[in-house]
């Protein structure tokens, strides 16, 4: 599966035409595949979950390296090809990765990998961060990868940046040109690695996530307005929580650090309990 003509030939045999609406861009480069799989540092007794295996370009290497490989593929023809091709070496879940129970599939120490379908990559990354695999290696469009790394006060800063900072360390594994896919996507891609963080001293994910999403859902508004519109928090309660957290209520969400979001989530939680 390291040339466009081989991939095209298999797809033709299966009667599958790459569908844009499913983000079907198949990896046709041996070196990129090796770098992605190497970044997982797989051990024989690891469990790994793959999102969107397609024709199995990454999967082939995964099953060679470890004994518990699970994959989620939405395309029926591809899912049945994978079942047939990998026989008992791969558990294939046919369905939408956005609806899959990722924590259950990962178990306590699972790793995750995927050349993600770009049309849902943001939503998928939020679910992946929430499921907290020990390591996740993901191919993403460069713009999403940049948002994941963006610090406070930068134009790319968004909910994804703060939630990523909360849940995981990030590093770049590779930059990948469009020519390494069949058919080529219209955007540049990047492979990133996420390593789960132990966030024991911070607010819990269910506390912090809605606050972060409200702040960036109304990013042009001052924080007190964003909390009111995004969470339905009464203006005076929001203002008080912001002041208690040491944040000027007139600031905008993109200027807040993770530590400030954490203090704010805790202050809101405490006020709502009173």
Angle (CA) 7 125 113, round 5° = 45
Task: Find, among 128, 142, 113, the residue nearest to 54 by Cα.
Answer: 113
Say how many Å lie between the first and final Cα of the chain, rounded: 60
Closer CB to ligand SAM, residue 59 or residue 134? 59
Q: Alpha-carbon distance 195 to 149, whole Å?
A: 13
CB of 65 to ligand SAM, least distance (A): 16
CB of 110 to ligand SAM, least distance (A): 17
Closer CB to ligand SAM, residue 54 or residue 230? 54
List residues binding ligand SAM (CB under 6 A). 22-27, 51-54, 57-58, 72-75, 78, 96-98, 115, 117, 120
Closer CB to ligand SAM, residue 66 or residue 199? 66
Q: Cβ-count burial of 240 within 10 angstroms (0-12 exposed, 13-18 middle, 19+ buried)?
A: middle
CB of 7 to ligand SAM, least distance (A): 8
Closer CB to ligand SAM, residue 10 or residue 196? 10
CB of 217 to ligand SAM, least distance (A): 23
CB of 96 to ligand SAM, least distance (A): 4
Tokens of 251: 């600031």
Site of tokens 């299966």: 14
Q: Alpha-carbon distance 226 to 215, whole Å?
A: 5
Closer CB to ligand SAM, residue 74 or residue 247? 74
CB closest to ligand SAM, residue no: 52
């Amino acid at each position: 599966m390291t040339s466009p003509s081989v991939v095209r030939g298999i797809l033709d045999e299966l009667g599958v035409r790459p569908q844009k609406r499913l983000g079907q861009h198949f990896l046709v480069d041996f070196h990129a595949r090796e770098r992605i799989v190497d970044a997982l540092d797989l051990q024989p007794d690891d469990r790994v979950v793959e999102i969107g295996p397609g024709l199995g370009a990454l999967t082939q290497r995964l099953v060679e390296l470890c004994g518990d490989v699970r994959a989620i593929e939405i395309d029926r023809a591809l899912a049945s090809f994978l079942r047939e091709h990998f026989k008992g070496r791969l558990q294939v879940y046919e369905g939408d990765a956005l609806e899959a129970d990722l924590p259950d599939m990962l178990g306590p120490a699972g790793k995750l990998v995927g050349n993600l379908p770009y049309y849902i990559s943001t939503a998928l990354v939020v679910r992946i961060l929430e499921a907290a695999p020990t390591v996740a290696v993901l191919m993403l469009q460069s713009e999403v990868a940049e948002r994941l790394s963006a610090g406070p006060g930068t134009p790319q800063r968004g909910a994804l940046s703060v939630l990523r900072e909360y849940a995981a360390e990030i590093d770049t594994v590779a930059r990948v040109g469009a020519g390494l896919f069949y058919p080529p996507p219209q955007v540049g891609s990047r492979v990133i690695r996420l390593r789960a963080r132990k966030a024991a001293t911070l607010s819990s994910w269910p506390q912090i996530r809605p606050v972060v999403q409200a702040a960036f859902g109304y990013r042009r508004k001052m924080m007190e307005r964003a909390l009111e519109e995004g969470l339905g928090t009464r203006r005076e309660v929001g203002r008080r929580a912001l002041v208690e957290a040491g944040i000027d209520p007139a600031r905008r969400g993109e200027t807040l650090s993770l530590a400030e979001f954490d203090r704010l989530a805790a202050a809101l939680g405490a006020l709502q309990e009173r």
